[in-house]
């Protein structure tokens, strides 16, 4: 979620407010479905290769730092092994492709969040 906020640089306060306002659907303890603002979807759809590489690197670093805090060594090592930079770049590329299709079809994009 933190890396997504990188897309908010230079965007309107209204967009940031809309994104952080809460879930469309979901009980108090989750899972939740959030409606992604059209500006964010458009930003994902237009991301350049150079930007995608940079964002994927930061996303990977954030996730790996979070994984490093896991106390169980076996779990931690397993998760670190499954979290190479290429994995995050592939995910970001898939999100960008999905965002382009979403815009082309005039649809909305949503995010499922669970604990």
CA distance 88 to 68: 17
Whether pTM > 0.85 for this model: the answer is no
Q: Please, what is the average pLDDT of the chain?
A: 82
Both tokens of residue 85? 């930079």
Contact 56, 92 (CB under 8 A): yes
- For 77-96, how does the pLDDT look when each residue is reduced to its tens digit (9 = 90+)? 998 888 889 998 999 999 99
pLDDT top residue among 29 and 86? 86
User: What residue spans define the domains of the chain?
Assistant: 4-113
- For 41-67, how does the pLDDT look when each residue is reduced to its tens digit (9 = 90+)? 998 999 999 999 988 898 888 888 889
């Amino acid at each position: 979620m933190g890396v997504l906020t990188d897309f908010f640089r230079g965007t309107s306060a209204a967009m940031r407010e809309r994104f952080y306002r809460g879930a469309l659907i979901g009980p108090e303890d989750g899972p939740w479905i959030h409606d992604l603002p059209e500006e964010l979807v458009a930003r994902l759809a237009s991301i350049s290769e150079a930007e995608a590489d940079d964002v994927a690197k930061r996303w990977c670093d954030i996730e790996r730092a979070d994984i490093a805090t896991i106390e169980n060594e076996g779990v931690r090592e397993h998760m670190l092994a499954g979290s190479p930079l290429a994995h995050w770049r592939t995910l970001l590329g898939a999100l960008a492709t999905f965002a382009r299709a979403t815009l082309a079809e005039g649809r909305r994009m949503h995010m499922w969040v669970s604990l």
